Amino acid sequence: MCAISQIYFFPDYSRRIVSSPIVTEKHGEKVKSLRFGLKKRRYVEAWGLHGLSYKVFDEHAKRYDSWYRRNPILFECEAKVIRSLKLQGRGLSIGVGTGILDSQAPIKVGIDPSANMLKYASLRGVSPVRAVDEHLPFKSESFDFALMVVTLCFLNSPVKALMEANRILRRGGELAVCMVPRDSSWGREYTKKGEAGHIFYSYAHFYTLEEVEQLLKKCHFRVVAVKSTLSYSPNEKPHVEEPSENPEGKGFVCIKAVKT
């Protein structure tokens, strides 16, 4: 595995992060300050819900990545949906994690606050950038598409993250948001596990499809397609199925939206 440092330079996509992060105190919250060239930008290092979840993912990156290897049928179903979105051009994965699903789209760069997750993503051909979703270290209108796979549910500020996604997309650029709907059998199962203290799901806040569509509209996106899979429940025997355009009751749903 490659080492993930604090300094990244991708001339086609971003600015250089100069110097080490400076941790300061503000209203009892730890805030990390980074220099992007001559400009300073600040973002929360993650000490609230978002940060605690990032630390859990960082400590258990191997366990997270192995889940899909242990559940290859679910992986194939979800991978088919992502491929069916037919995303093209210069792509960014926002909250790339280990990149195991995100790499099913032609992404070039992936951001995540977890260095250990990024190590796995780099092995899948993703250029890793350590950053948080709400403050993307990229120039405006520098990507053709962005992908968020089960990311919104772990964010403190989903609106801020979606507005940042809008900023870095070119006019007419596409954003794909993949999610586990709260009102699906899978969403109910994961919510139940979270309430019982599951290592990952206890930090998640799942949304319904309608809620995410409203968030996208609020952040100046227009939904153009919805693809879904997992028509069966977590308690049923899994089988590979083709992507569906009917999301009702499905456990994995991807929304494709265009920047307006």
CATH of the domain at 50: 3.40.50.150
**6-60 pLDDT per residue, tens:** 333 333 333 333 222 322 233 223 323 333 332 333 333 333 334 456 778 888 8
Any domain includes 25:
no
Any domain includes 122:
yes
This prediction's pTM: 0.81
Compute how many other C-beta atoms are within 10 angstroms of the C-beta atom of residue 84: 19
The full length of the chain comes to: 260
CA dist., res. 141 & res. 152, Å (int):
21
- Cβ proximity of 88 and 144 under 8 Å: yes
Total number of domains constituting the chain = 1
Any domain includes 255:
yes
Residue span of the structural domain in which 90 resides = 46-259
Any domain includes 31:
no
- Is the per-residue pLDDT at 188 higher than 70? yes
Amino acid at 149: V
Any domain includes 239:
yes
Any domain includes 85:
yes
**232-253 pLDDT per residue, tens:** 999 999 999 999 999 999 999 9
CA dist., res. 90 & res. 70, Å (int):
31
Any domain includes 88:
yes
Any domain includes 137:
yes
CB burial readout 26-64, b (16+ within 10 A) else e: eeeeebbebbbeeeeeebbbbeeebbebbebbbebbeeb
- Is the per-residue pLDDT at 231 higher than 70? yes
